[in-house]
């Protein structure tokens, strides 16, 4: 390399600050990228900068030297690809996710901060670390459309509290609320659901109710799917691979914090790592 360690260190530390980012999670990544710029022969008097866009690192800096630019473009592409696997906040392994309509790359710990998770400790129900209500203080529970969303009415004049399947641990709450607090129709229905859950071969939890799984939302195999799939094994395998891809992070969040359903004993994953890699590439 044509520069001394001191020169490169100075260049790297000065230019890492030229990037507009949402946190310091990518700083090491950018330092590594700038170090590769030096190795490629970048003129240290030229500033390098960039920003976060759509959850990925962007760097538009180029030199006046074409052969060098080919190298620089390769380096940038490499680090752009690494950035969408690195949490913007803390630098841990991350994934591209959508938060309030924005694309961001976050680890599960930082992503979960934006998800309203129900936690039940004894008689008390929390939303993340915020107290919501005590189960013993519920006056009645309304089900406006289906059992997939509830309005909890408390004794007193407080506004009802709405919760739904978008809140992890929703079904854990549903089965923790005394049945007599629901309307007669739903009392019956909710009891029926939790007494008759079947094993889901796709996610591996006992969460299958009638035509779909309450945990992964997939449908169980039925013969009419033969139009689209060779056989049941093919269908389950593909559905399992889609679940592993987990584009909406739903499965990762469920694994991280949802305790609504029990794991099934005979769950089998039908694909291997090579098949998954192939599947992901073709997707």
Binding stretches for Zn ion (CB under 5 A): 87, 89-90, 92, 107, 110, 200, 202-203, 213, 215-216
Q: Strand pairing of 198-199 and 161-164?
A: unpaired
CB 93 within 8 A of CB 113: no
- Residue nearer to Zn ion on the CB measure, 22 or 143: 22
Least distance to Zn ion, CB of residue 69, Å: 33
Least distance to Zn ion, CB of residue 144, Å: 25
CB 261 within 8 A of CB 206: yes
Q: Which of 187, 154, 147, 200 is nearest to 170 (CA)?
A: 147
Least distance to Zn ion, CB of residue 158, Å: 35
**Who contacts 111 (Cβ-Cβ below 8 Å, separation ≥6)?**
95, 97, 99, 249, 253
Q: What is the DSSP string of 154-196?
A: ESSSPPPEEEETTSTTHHHHHHHS-GGGS-HHHHHHHHHHHHS
| Largest distance between two CA atoms of the chain | 80
Least distance to Zn ion, CB of residue 237, Å: 14
- Residue nearer to Zn ion on the CB measure, 75 or 208: 208
CB 87 within 8 A of CB 110: yes
Beta-sheet strands, E only, within the chain? 19-20, 50-53, 56-59, 95-99, 102-106, 118-121, 124-127, 130-134, 138-142, 149-154, 161-164, 198-199, 206-209, 212-213
- Residue nearer to Zn ion on the CB measure, 25 or 50: 25
- Residue nearer to Zn ion on the CB measure, 12 or 107: 107
Q: Which two tokens stand for residue 138?
A: 């519920």
Rounded-to-10 torsion of CA 199, 203, 208, 211: -130
The rounded distance, in Å, linking the Cα atoms of 43 and 68 is: 10
- Residue nearer to Zn ion on the CB measure, 41 or 91: 91
- Residue nearer to Zn ion on the CB measure, 59 or 213: 213
- Residue nearer to Zn ion on the CB measure, 72 or 202: 202
Least distance to Zn ion, CB of residue 105, Å: 9
Q: Which two tokens stand for residue 120?
A: 């039940």
- Residue nearer to Zn ion on the CB measure, 47 or 85: 85
Least distance to Zn ion, CB of residue 251, Å: 9
Least distance to Zn ion, CB of residue 205, Å: 6
Least distance to Zn ion, CB of residue 14, Å: 26
């Amino acid at each position: 390399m044509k520069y001394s360690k001191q020169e490169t260190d100075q260049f790297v530390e000065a230019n890492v600050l030229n990037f507009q980012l949402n946190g310091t999670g990518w700083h090491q990544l950018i330092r590594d990228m700038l170090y590769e710029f030096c190795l490629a022969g970048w003129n240290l008097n030229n500033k390098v900068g960039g920003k976060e866009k759509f959850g990925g690192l962007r760097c538009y800096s180029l030199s006046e030297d074409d052969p060098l630019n080919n190298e620089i473009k390769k380096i940038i592409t490499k680090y752009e690809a690494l950035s969408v696997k690195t949490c913007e906040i803390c630098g841990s392994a991350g994934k591209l996710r959508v938060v309030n309509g924005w694309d961001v790359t976050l680890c599960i710990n930082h992503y979960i901060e934006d998800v309203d998770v129900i936690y039940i400790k004894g008689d008390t129900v929390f939303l993340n670390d915020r107290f919501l209500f005590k189960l013993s203080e519920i006056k009645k529970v309304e089900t406006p459309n289906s059992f997939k969303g509830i309005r909890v009415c408390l004794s007193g004049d407080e506004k009802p509290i709405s919760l739904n399947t978008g809140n992890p641990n929703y079904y854990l709450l549903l089965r923790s609320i005394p049945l007599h607090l629901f309307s007669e129709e739903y009392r019956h229905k909710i009891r029926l659901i939790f007494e008759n859950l079947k094993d889901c071969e796709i996610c591996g939890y006992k969460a299958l109710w009638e035509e779909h799984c309450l945990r992964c939302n997939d449908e169980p195999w039925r013969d009419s799917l033969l139009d689209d799939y060779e056989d049941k094994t093919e269908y389950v395998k593909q559905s399992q691979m889609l679940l592993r891809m987990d584009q909406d992070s739903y499965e990762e969040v469920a694994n991280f914090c949802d305790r609504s359903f029990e794991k099934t004993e005979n769950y089998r994953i039908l694909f291997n790592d090579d098949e998954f890699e192939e599947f992901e590439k073709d997707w």
